[in-house]
């Protein structure tokens, strides 16, 4: 299955180049399992969903750890019918699980509870789009039930759901929402924005 993310990192600093290039070293442990391509708009990261979200988490935490207000914006997709299949994209058998919705919600909650702590506070928001015909609304409502029961649920907003907590748990919740909801072999997309050290938050 083809899965990947178009991401952009925005440190609100005069030294944004140094912060971005420094944070990119956080991707090094993941590079062997990813394909990474950068242009003047975004960086494409292609690979199995669990690695995608771990890589985005580590990149974000490295940048936010400077104390600078940082925002990561991403469009994440799996199973896109217009993309080629590639061995690097094929998830582990359990990475995009099937099964009853209640069981997937419980598994997602357990995964968030076990997420590694990074020590970096983060807030974020996301929208999930399970594309295709059939019971896509059941999948969306199941995802909402999962997030509302998780420790990182902040509140519902227009067109999205807001998360708050340690970056490890926030990115774990995003990864679980992306992998556990929507047809395992279907096309699923997600819009993600994560922020840290915002002056609005302090105000």
CA distance 171 to 58: 10
Q: Rounded mean pLDDT of 42-71?
A: 95
As a whole-number percent, the residues of the chain with pLDDT over 90 amount to 75
Count of domains forming the chain: 1
In contact, 90 and 3? CB cutoff 8 Å: no
pLDDT digits (tens, 9 = 90+) for 89-138: 654 555 566 789 999 999 999 999 999 999 999 999 999 999 876 678 88
Report the C-alpha gap between 145 and 139 in whole angstroms: 10
Averaged pLDDT score across all residues of the chain: 90
Q: What whole-number distance in Å separates Cα of residue 147 and Cα of residue 108?
A: 9
Show the domain range for 92: 3-202
Q: pLDDT tens for residues 159-196?
A: 999 999 999 999 999 999 999 998 877 889 999 999 99
Confidence of residue 150 (pLDDT cuts 50, 70, 90): very high
CATH number of the domain within which 100 lies: 3.30.70.930
Residue 149 has pLDDT above 70, yes or no: yes
In contact, 86 and 1? CB cutoff 8 Å: no
Ranges of beta strands (E only) in the chain are: 3-11, 35-38, 43-46, 70-78, 121-130, 153-157, 160-166, 188-196
Of 164, 165, 161, the closest CA to residue 177 belongs to 161
- Identify whether the C-beta of residue 109 lies closer than 8 Å to the C-beta of residue 146: yes
DSSP 67-108: TS-EEEEEEEEES-TTS---GGGPPPTTTS--S-HHHHHHHH
Instruction: Give the span between the Cα atoms of 155 and 26, in whole angstroms.
Output: 30
When pLDDT is cut at 50, 70 and 90, the band that residue 84 belongs to is low
Is residue 131 a contact partner of residue 178, using CB atoms and an 8 Å limit? Answer: no
Q: Which pair of tokens denotes residue 39? A: 């242009």
């Amino acid at each position: 299955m083809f899965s990947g993310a178009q991401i952009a990192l925005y440190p609100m600093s005069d030294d944004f180049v140094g912060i971005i290039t420094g944070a990119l070293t956080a991707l090094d442990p993941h590079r062997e399992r990813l394909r990474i391509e950068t242009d003047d708009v975004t960086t494409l990261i292609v690979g199995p969903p669990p690695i995608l979200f771990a890589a985005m988490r580590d990149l974000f935490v490295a940048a936010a750890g400077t104390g600078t207000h940082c925002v990561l914006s991403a469009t994440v997709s799996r199973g896109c019918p217009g993309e080629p299949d590639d061995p690097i994209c094929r998830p582990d058998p359990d990475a995009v699980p099937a099964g009853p919705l209640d069981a997937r919600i419980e598994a997602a909650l357990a995964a968030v509870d076990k997420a590694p702590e990074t020590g970096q506070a983060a807030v974020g928001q996301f929208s999930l789009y399970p594309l295709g015909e059939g019971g896509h609304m059941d999948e969306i409502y199941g995802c909402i039930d999962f997030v509302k029961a998780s420790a990182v649920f902040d509140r519902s907003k227009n067109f999205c759901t807001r998360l708050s907590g340690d970056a490890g748990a926030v990115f774990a919740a995003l990864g679980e929402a992306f992998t556990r909801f929507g047809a395992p072999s279907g096309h699923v997309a997600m819009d993600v924005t994560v922020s840290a050290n915002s002056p609005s938050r302090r105000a």
